[in-house]
A and B are shown apart, each in its own frame.
Chain A
Amino acid sequence: MNELFEPEIVAFVCTYCTYAGADLAGTSRLKYAPNVRIVRLPCTGRISPMFILKALQKGADGILISGCHPGDCHFTHGNYHARRRWMVFRALLEFTGIPSERVKYSWISAAEGGKFADLMNSITEDIRKLGPFDQYKALIKETEAPATF
């Protein structure tokens, strides 16, 4: 009964900063919670809000978006687009009934392996506190038609 809830978290990260930061955490042999699954993209500018919804629909309990620090984008300003898009999308998330605490946004550079490991632990804890995200699952059960892509 006391078993810890293990949240499923999907991270959408850019290949130049955060993915490299995650690699650095690996080469530095830092240890962190195994709950996050990474989807690698060229740039945070490539991240569509639809990806986030799709991951939540698939059963993710939390989402992370992470890219280069402002000003450091390999593609000069992809991360600014991502940030602006997120600011708009956050309001819509609440409107669709998804609490925006389930979606985190952060900047992690290729040099910040430690920060990446810390973030993995903190996001896992945060989402664990929020509990399983079952709105989508309930909805799917209700309509008895599995959402397909």
Chain B
Amino acid sequence: MAKIGVFICHCGENIGAKIDCNKLAATIGEHPGVAVSVEYKYFCADPGQESIKKAIRDNNLTGVVVAACSPRMHEATFRKACAEAGLNPYMCEIANIREHCSWVHTDPDMATEKAADITRSMIEKVKRNNKLQPIEVPVTRRALVIGGGIAGIQAALDIANAGQEVVLVEREPSLGGHMAQLSETFPTLDCSQCIMTPRMVEAAQHPKIRLLTYAEVVSVDGYIGNFHVKVKMKARYVDMESCTGCGDCITKCPQKKISSEFDCGIGKRTAIYTPFAQSVPNKPVIDKATCTYFKNGKCKVCMRSCQINAINFDMQDEFIELEIGAIVVATGFQVQNNAVYGEYGYGKYPDVITGLQFERLASASGPTFGKILRPSDGKEPKTIVFIQCAGSRDPSKGVRYCSKICCMYTAKHAMLYAHKVHEGKSHIFYMDIRAAGKGYDEFTRRAIEEDEASYVRGRVSKVWPKMSKLMVRGVDTLLGKPVLIAADMVVLATAMVPQPDAKEFAKTIGIAYDEYGFFNEAHLKLRPVESSTAGIFLAGTCQSPKDIPDSVSQASASASKVLALFSKQTLEREPVVASNNEATCAGCWGCVLACPYNAIEKKDILDRSGKLIKRVASVNPGLCQGCGTCVTFCRSNSLDLAGFTEKQIFAEVMGL
């Protein structure tokens, strides 16, 4: 006889203000099989959990339904509490009366009625729940870090320094990411190269880190602790073993006018190239799309200039397979294409540039060796207009979110400009100054007070050329007057957006993403570095716009999650897996075709003399992920899915 305990949570006022919990508890108390039906303000809090445990012990409950928030929020909490009271945790179910009821409905009576239906349906389900035991699976102690920017490098180093193996995959020819492109970093103004390149070298030389540059992850199969990852090693056409990185080939290459991706189009590179002088590894690749030999079938100047014959035009893409226990995704961001703002003339007027291009101009290793010069005529600009929120916080043309770093880097740009061009004048159009962070507000104040950046609160409506100047028309909303500035250069604080292929990539590795393409965390507040998929963690700007300190913190947090996972020989998995009734299985193999994980094998059933009686399907619980596609496919109803059995679901429907 079922003895079900129902615990109705008010969640403060979140549920209690809309749903009549008192009435709900009384109604549910009359439902057959319900032994306890009580309400309380916060069941997730310690006293609440204790009261559930006490009720289980006092009444010998056979099942528990907690009518509260989404199971995605606290299912684990309440299942653990049940286990502590001696009840099998899988005998606990959650009735979601917050996200699916109290928060979304206006009529209290209808909401209460719906809450009762939801709760009854879960009671009927839990009556048919089975006691399940978690499945133990081994853990491969090797982490994969995808992305070799600051976040990826930090995560890789933290994991490797703890003694675990790491494979670091970067799709560009060099480590470094966006941080390597920066000039100086706020709020300390230390040179990005000076703090970044030693970390790059450390990562490359670490005995526990296997570095794969110019490589892309093409598929991820398996599950937490046991991922199978396929990586494409793009053909470099340069033998990594023998190349010494002398650079002779780069100086001889006849293609010298290719727009450099690293310099954001301001500098030029050759067809055989390293992205920047401090590249790690400092060995070039041949860009097939621009190389004369690949285009015309002749040239091979680099091959002749190479004294150790490291160049091989016959090289092919290679694929390597890796066994991985945990994955850190640190794939970073891109800057938005500012061509969406026709009125600012980006792409049309060469002296309208993005913040990242300004970084390259201000960088000592950049195309102008740190001199701020106009891309059009190479002259030093005497007046610069900075336009903040060029894309951010603009639902009509850009993105709705705040890119978080632009207020800070624009203040930094104004400072760097003041330090390099003493008589220069900078005007900054802003919506708000968002300088929350350690030393950040002080930094923007310094830009205004010491480096005399003139902040104008308002938007720019148009930029147009006049003689050699750029005329900038905007508004000063504090004075309530239009403003017209004759500038030599305009810098747009461009929005940070996800990588263009972020959504595709998320599908490849099986994690969730938001409407923009940033990867979703498991819980915004409580599980910010875990993805929606167990064993895959997030670091840096692939999750949301972030500055360097935040990216590094998140990377270290991800690394600690990985290390916690690697601290055990085996890990426990949810026992939501399919099983087969071999007595009724007809061996049609429909399930074998349906299974996305090849978790169903054919098994011979023999008689005592070893003669084959029949062949049946058999589910490997280590591989089964519990989708249940096979169960629905099964013609003889032999397969069933633990936790979501046919009986449970029918009962749930009948309980509504």
Residue of A nearest to B516 (CB): A111
Q: Is B653 an interface residue (CB 8 A)?
A: yes
Among candidates B72, B111, B626, B654, residue contacting A54 with C-beta atoms closer than 8 Å: B654
A20 touches B104 (CB 8 A): no
B99 touches A27 (CB 8 A): yes
Question: In whole angstroms, how far apart are the Cα atoms of A107 and B117 in the complex?
Answer: 25
Q: Is A131 an interface residue (CB 8 A)?
A: no
B513 touches A42 (CB 8 A): no
Segment with Cβ contacts to A, from B175-183, B385-393, B473-481, B644-652? B644-652
Segment with Cβ contacts to A, from B82-90, B253-261, B291-299, B628-636? B628-636
A51 touches B650 (CB 8 A): yes
A46 touches B100 (CB 8 A): no
Chain B residues closer than 8 Å to A32, beta-carbon distance: 104-105
Residue of A nearest to B101 (CB): A34
B653 touches A55 (CB 8 A): yes
A111 touches B646 (CB 8 A): no
Known contacts A51-B650, A85-B632, A111-B513; decide if A46 and B121 are in contact (CB<8 Å). no
Q: Is B596 an interface residue (CB 8 A)?
A: yes
**A26-41 Cβ-contact flags toward B at 8 Å (1 or 0):** 1101111010011111
Q: Is A108 an interface residue (CB 8 A)?
A: no
Q: Is A62 an interface residue (CB 8 A)?
A: no
Min Cβ gap A58→B in Å is: 6
Question: In whole angstroms, how far apart are the Cα atoms of A19 and B69 in the complex?
Answer: 13
A42 touches B98 (CB 8 A): no
Q: Is B106 an interface residue (CB 8 A)?
A: yes
B72 touches A20 (CB 8 A): yes
Chain B residues 35 to 88 lying within 8 A of chain A, measured CB to CB, are: 70-72
**A42-66 Cβ-contact flags toward B at 8 Å (1 or 0):** 1101111011001100101000000
- Residue of B121, B651, B652 with most chain A CB atoms under a 10 A cut-off: B652
A54 touches B653 (CB 8 A): yes
Question: In whole angstroms, how far apart are the Cα atoms of A27 and B96 in the complex?
Answer: 12
A51 touches B653 (CB 8 A): yes
A-B contacts at CB below 8 angstroms, number: 137
Question: In whole angstroms, how far apart are the Cα atoms of A109 and B507 in the complex?
Answer: 13
Chain B residues closer than 8 Å to A29, beta-carbon distance: 103-104
Residues of A in contact with B, size category: 35 or more
Min Cβ gap B632→A in Å is: 5
Residue of B nearest to A46 (CB): B628
**B510-521 Cβ-contact flags toward A at 8 Å (1 or 0):** 101111000010
**A70-103 Cβ-contact flags toward B at 8 Å (1 or 0):** 0110111110010001000000000000000000
Q: Is A127 an interface residue (CB 8 A)?
A: no
Known contacts A29-B104, A81-B594; decide if A41 and B649 are in contact (CB<8 Å). yes
Min Cβ gap A11→B in Å is: 10
Chain B residues closer than 8 Å to A25, beta-carbon distance: 99, 104
Known contacts A16-B512, A23-B99, A29-B104; decide if A39 and B627 are in contact (CB<8 Å). no
B104 touches A39 (CB 8 A): no
A54 touches B650 (CB 8 A): yes
Min Cβ gap A115→B in Å is: 10
B100 touches A23 (CB 8 A): yes
Known contacts A31-B105, A149-B654; decide if A75 and B625 are in contact (CB<8 Å). yes
Known contacts A16-B532, A23-B99; decide if A42 and B576 are in contact (CB<8 Å). yes
Residue of B nearest to A27 (CB): B99
Residue of B nearest to A30 (CB): B104
Question: In whole angstroms, how far apart are the Cα atoms of A55 and B510 in the complex?
Answer: 32
Min Cβ gap B367→A in Å is: 40
Residue of A nearest to B113 (CB): A34
B99 touches A43 (CB 8 A): no
Q: Is A123 an interface residue (CB 8 A)?
A: no
Residue of A nearest to B72 (CB): A23
Among candidates B106, B644, B651, residue contacting A31 with C-beta atoms closer than 8 Å: B106
Known contacts A30-B104, A34-B111, A58-B654; decide if A42 and B641 are in contact (CB<8 Å). yes
Question: In whole angstroms, how far apart are the Cα atoms of A109 and B520 in the complex?
Answer: 12
Q: Is B26 an interface residue (CB 8 A)?
A: no
Residue of A nearest to B517 (CB): A111
Q: Is B110 an interface residue (CB 8 A)?
A: yes
Question: In whole angstroms, how far apart are the Cα atoms of A103 and B4 in the complex?
Answer: 33
Q: Is B118 an interface residue (CB 8 A)?
A: yes
Q: Is B382 an interface residue (CB 8 A)?
A: no
B110 touches A34 (CB 8 A): yes
Known contacts A34-B114, A39-B649, A45-B627; decide if A74 and B107 are in contact (CB<8 Å). no
Question: In whole angstroms, how far apart are the Cα atoms of A48 and B107 in the complex?
Answer: 33
Residue of B nearest to A24 (CB): B99
B628 touches A43 (CB 8 A): yes
Chain B residues closer than 8 Å to A20, beta-carbon distance: 72, 512, 532
A111 touches B515 (CB 8 A): yes
B104 touches A31 (CB 8 A): yes
Question: In whole angstroms, how far apart are the Cα atoms of A112 and B514 in the complex?
Answer: 9
Question: In whole angstroms, how far apart are the Cα atoms of A18 and B633 in the complex?
Answer: 22
Residue of A nearest to B111 (CB): A34
A46 touches B627 (CB 8 A): yes
Top 6 A-B residue pairs of the complex, sorted by shortest distance between their CB atoms: A26-B99, A46-B628, A45-B629, A75-B627, A43-B627, A26-B103
Could you tell me which B residues sit within 8 Å of A by CB distance? Answer: 70-72, 96, 98-101, 103-107, 110-111, 113-114, 117-118, 121, 507, 510, 512-515, 520, 532-533, 576, 594, 596-597, 625-629, 631-633, 641, 643-644, 646, 649-654, 656
**Interchain residue pairs with CB less than 8 A apart (23):** A10-B656, A16-B512, A20-B532, A23-B70, A23-B100, A30-B104, A32-B104, A38-B96, A38-B118, A42-B626, A42-B644, A45-B594, A45-B627, A46-B632, A46-B641, A48-B646, A54-B653, A54-B654, A71-B507, A75-B625, A78-B628, A111-B514, A149-B650
